[in-house]
Amino acid sequence: MGQPGMQQPGTGQPGMPGAAPNNPYAQAQDALKTGKGIVKIGQYALIGFGALAIIWGIYWLISGVIIGALSTLFTGAILIAVALFEYPKFTGMMNQATNMVDGLAAKSQLAQTGIPATASVVNLQQTGRMINYQPEVAITLQVTHPNTGAQYPVQTTSVVQQIHMPRVQPGSQVPVRISQMNPNEVALAL
C-alpha cells in the first residue's frame, strides 16, 4: 500500500502521500473533489432545465404558437446537448488536475523520505507548464545508487524553482532521492 505514516491526499487514510493537517496537497484534493461535485450538479441542472424547456416547447406547439415552440424546443435541445457532450470535458479536466496534484504530492513525499543519492544531469527541457509560477522540466539523469554504486539512467519530470535552474543544467551533479520500492523513481532534492 505505501510507507507507514504516508497518507492519500484529501483522505486522511494512512499509507499514501498527503492528508496531514494544513497539507496544501490535501487542501487541493478537497477543493477538486468539491469542484467535481459542483460540475456534476451543474450537469444535472442543465439536463433538468433542458427537459423543462422541451416540455414547455411541446406545450407551445400544441397551443399553436409555432415560433415560441421552435425557439423553446431548440433551447431545450441545446441545454441537454451541452450537459451531455460538453460537461464531461470539464470532468476530464478535473481528473487531470487531480492526477497532477497526486503526482506532485508523491514527488514531494519522495523528496522528503527517499534514499539520498547523487545524479548527473544528462538532459533538461522545460515542458512548458508552470506550477505556482515555477517551471516544470523533463530531466534525464544518470543516477548513482548509494547502496550498490550502480549507475543507471532515469527520466523524470519535476517542478524546479527558478532560482535553482542554474543548478540543474546538463553536466551538473544534483542531489536526488530514490524510492526504496522502485529505484527508477527519483525526485530532485534541491
Q: What is the pLDDT of residues 5-49, one digit of tens each?
A: 444 444 444 444 444 556 666 777 777 778 778 888 888 999 999
The pLDDT score that the predictor gives to residue 119 is: 92
Which three cell numbers mark 144? 548513482
What pLDDT score was predicted for residue 21? 56
**176 contacts 188 by C-beta, under 8 angstroms:** yes
What is the C-alpha to C-alpha distance for residues 156 and 106, in angstroms, rounded to an integer?
Answer: 13
Contact (Cβ atoms closer than 8 angstroms) between residue 108 and residue 134: no
Is residue 144 exposed (0-12), middle (13-18) or buried (19+ Cβ within 10 Å)? middle
- Yes or no: say if 119 and 186 are a contact pair by the CB < 8 Å rule: yes
pTM of the model: 0.55
Structure confidence at residue 4 (pLDDT):
41
Question: Looking at residue 7, what is its pLDDT?
Answer: 41
What pLDDT, on a 0 to 100 scale, did the predictor assign at position 25?
A: 67
Name residue 15's amino acid.
G
What is the pLDDT, as a whole number, of residue 121? Answer: 94
Report residues of the chain scoring pLDDT below 50: 1-19
**Cβ neighbour number for residue 106 with a 10 Å cutoff:** 20
pLDDT of residue 48: 93
